[in-house]
Amino acid sequence: MTRADRPIPFLSALTGLIMASLMLGAITAPAHAQLILERDQVRELQGVELEEQLGAYIPLDATFIDDTGEAVRLARYFGDRKPVILALVYYECPVVCTIVLDKLLDSLNRLDYTVGKDYRLLVVSFDHRETTTHARGQKIRFLRHYNRASEPGVGQGVMYHTGDEVDIRRLTDAVGFQFAPLRNGEWSHPAGLVILSPEGKVTRYLYGYDYPPDQLMLSLLDATNGRIARSIGERIMHFCFRYDPTAGAYSLQAMALMRLAGAATVVILTVIIVVLFIGERVRQRVLARSSSGMQSGDERGSSRAGRSPVSPAGQVS
């Protein structure tokens, strides 16, 4: 082959690039078409949603099996003025649910409220195939790492459950928790928590994997309208912070803060005025007593000066 008959290197490279592109297109085109046609499968792979149902009530007559194997109605955990943190998970979840429960435990360990005493933790598996053994193992794991597990009532305040398909679906539908099975036997589901009032009403959602203690505390205070607040500081925080749905978190309310600052200013000024008024009254009384004492001394001196000295014999000198 002569030099003239040999292919030009640039043209060879270009031809190879075109052929590779055509082959890649032939391979990926069917897959792309499959993604478009099978949209439900794509949704399962990407996860499902947690649709807010604020103000809705969970089915308190729904029955689940607790970690001791006893069938209980959800109504058992409501009605005594304690808010409830609801975590919907499945115990054999390889990643997401484990992270949710671990992050929640970390936040509860830093929260200045005690589970069982101030609030309840209700964990329910949405996988109807799981058993009491799974629930019991998860509860033991929680109590092993909860830093106040030895306090009275903690064991009764932490509840892990399983259930059947009907009651699971009733509960998840009530709070807007969507989940779907995957071909590998796992589940696609959102990550987050639901805060319930002592009456079983949905009051707040916490999304994702991070649950800062202050946000969790405010959510619990909201669920009880501040009834579990232990200090003035907590009540002030509950007054000044409001939930921002667009941000999915609590934010400082400028108007509430201004009102609080105005009220504090009025109180401080009132205290100062009262202190000054009382001080002035005390000063006037002291001056009045001092002036009265001086006048009495002068009168006694004048009285002595007006008298004539008397001799021992009774004669006037």
What pLDDT does 65 receive? 98
> CA dist 175 to 40, 135, 194, 240, 241, Å?
22, 21, 8, 27, 24
The better pLDDT of the pair 133, 27 is held by 133
Q: Per-residue pLDDT for 210 more than 80? A: yes
- Percentage of the chain surpassing pLDDT 70? 64
Kindly report the number of other CB atoms within 10 A of residue 34's CB atom: 11
* Domain definitions of the chain by residue range: 63-227, 231-276
Q: Per-residue pLDDT for 253 more than 60? A: no
The better pLDDT of the pair 22, 213 is held by 213
Quote the mean pLDDT of the chain: 78
What pLDDT does 236 receive? 53
Separation of alpha carbons 201 and 223, rounded Å = 8
**Upper half-sphere CA count for residue 125 (Cβ side, 13 Å):** 27
Q: What is the CATH number of domain 63-227?
A: 3.40.30.10
Mean pLDDT along residues 16-41: 41
* pLDDT tens-digit map of 121-156: 999 999 999 999 999 999 999 999 999 999 999 999
Instruction: State the pLDDT confidence band at 113, using cuts at 50, 70 and 90.
Output: very high
Mean pLDDT along residues 226-233: 55
What pLDDT does 213 receive? 92
Instruction: State the pLDDT confidence band at 267, using cuts at 50, 70 and 90.
Output: confident
Return the bridge partners of 243, or none. Answer: 250
The better pLDDT of the pair 258, 238 is held by 258
Mean pLDDT along residues 289-295: 69
- Percentage of the chain surpassing pLDDT 90? 49
Mean pLDDT along residues 19-36: 41
The better pLDDT of the pair 202, 266 is held by 202
What pLDDT does 268 receive? 80
Kindly report the number of other CB atoms within 10 A of residue 221's CB atom: 22
Highest mean pLDDT among 158-167, 227-236, 257-266, 268-277: 158-167
Q: What's the burial of 286, exposed, middle or buried (CB within 10 Å: 0-12/13-18/19+)?
A: exposed
What pLDDT does 278 receive? 87
Separation of alpha carbons 292 and 298, rounded Å = 10
Residue 238's closest CA among 211, 257, 265, 262? 257
Mean pLDDT along residues 248-267: 57
Q: What's the burial of 86, exposed, middle or buried (CB within 10 Å: 0-12/13-18/19+)?
A: buried
**Upper half-sphere CA count for residue 43 (Cβ side, 13 Å):** 10
Q: What is the pTM of this model?
A: 0.64
Return the bridge partners of 177, or none. Answer: 50
The better pLDDT of the pair 254, 237 is held by 237
The better pLDDT of the pair 317, 149 is held by 149
What pLDDT does 276 receive? 84
Instruction: State the pLDDT confidence band at 14, using cuts at 50, 70 and 90.
Output: very low
